[in-house]
Structure 1
Amino acid sequence: MTIEEQIEKSRTSIFKAVFPNTTNHYDTLFGGTAMQLMDEVAFITATRFSRQKMVTVSSDKIDFTKPIPSGTIVELVGGVKHVGNTSLKVHVDVFIEEMYSSQRESAISGEFTFVAIDEDRNPTTIVSYQ
């Protein structure tokens, strides 16, 4: 399998409903909850790509461009953007979907960096399956 095919196979998409228990006092998705969901999708994407133990080492520039209201659906989409020797970057986009219409728009985007670790929790080479 080529690295491009491996990247495509690791692409991850998750849907969540935005319920009142995940919102702030403005009745929109709490930013910390959004970041947690993004990190989770990024982790799954990194793990699906490498099939190794991966840990988050940084989150890079998360842009909140639209508030996400309670009562909507969000789709989180993660994709590998760069592969290094022991690390990789995952880009995550969050889209808002209305529950009762086909309206959909981009709301948040950001990047997360992961490092592959061995049994002793030391960085290890990311294996590419070819």
Structure 2
Amino acid sequence: MIEPVLERWDTDPDTGSLRQDLLTLTLMMRDSTALPEGRALTAVATAGELRDLLRRTTERAIAPFHRAFDRAVARGEISAVADAYMMAHVIFHGVVGWEPRHGALPTDEECARMVSVVLGGRQGESHPR
């Protein structure tokens, strides 16, 4: 049932920019969360006997974020980021946990803000507080 949603994570967007790769992935995550299959995965999170499925699904969905960081390092866009795993994790759970807290999925602008916050002003961008 969830395989069609997971197949989205097998192909990486490669826009040539870490910020745009992360934003594209964040929007994909948001759109996947809106699907019935994505909603089913959210329900799985509360079922203890299905935690292994949730762990494997999460790893597969986060993997393209890791690859986006790797490509950015290879392009020389950023230096190696020790916290790349944590940054990917924060974006993933920021999107997945948004709706229960705010009553709606994050907008494109909110997804872009998540990416900006996670990048912490990298690439010369300043962020208002």
Greater fraction of residues in strand: 1
Greater fraction of residues in helix: 2
Query: Given the two structures, how large is their TM-score scaled by the length of structure 1?
Result: 0.33
**Which structure's CA Rg is the greater one?**
1
